[in-house]
Amino acid sequence: DSLLDRYEIIPAMVERNSTAKKNNLILLDKGSNHGIERGMGVIGPNGVVGQVKFVSKNFSTAVSLLHTDVRVSSMLTRDNTIGTTQWEGGDISLAKLKYVPRHVPLAEGDTVVTSGYNSVFPKGITIGYVKNINVNINESFYDIDVELATSFHKVSMTYIVKDRLQTEIDSLITISEE
């Protein structure tokens, strides 16, 4: 099975987009009439954009990656090390890659992609590129700045990602958590 068999891609235009707040939202021109549901991932031509939070018949609102509550399960393409990408406010071109152990080989320019460990995004969607690597000798993880692949101040076209296997995955997760 290919990614195209598992995921449905629904094009959506950006109606409104905020970038100046601590918790930014994006209004998209597709809603429940178009098959959009809460929790779906939103990607752009260059990479991750956000996740659908609210849905009406003809529109949906996504929490942007530029929202301090959004965490994206991430992976370094160099060696498949898993971490979490989170924007902490401020510069809209930078986020933090967290929980990467200091023993992992790392270099500026390394690519950060989605891990596929959640059902929001397929594995391998670009998030950004390692820009700065800071080491605190008292910490067991690097402090990594990631330059985001998406230019949020000019994003206009997006793709909402629907995982066709989501219901099946949810049923297994529910069983295992009981």
pLDDT along the chain (178 residues), means of 10: 78 96 97 96 97 98 96 96 96 97 96 90 96 93 97 96 77 64
Q: What is the predicted pLDDT for the residue at 167?
A: 67
Distance, CA of 158 to CA of 177 (rounded, Å): 34
Q: What is the predicted pLDDT for the residue at 175?
A: 63
pTM of the shown model: 0.90
Q: CB under 8 Å to 30, separation ≥6 — which residues?
A: 10, 11, 12, 36, 58, 59, 60, 160
Q: What is the predicted pLDDT for the residue at 115?
A: 95
Q: What is the predicted pLDDT for the residue at 165?
A: 77
Q: What is the predicted pLDDT for the residue at 174?
A: 64
- Torsional sign, CA 144, 148, 153, 159: negative
CB 44 within 8 Å of CB 121? no
Q: Can you say whether residue 109 is alpha, beta or left, with left for phi > 0 and alpha for psi between -120 and 50 degrees? A: left
CB 103 within 8 Å of CB 81? no
Give how far Cα 13 sits from Cα of 10, 78, 113, 156, Å. Answer: 10, 33, 23, 6
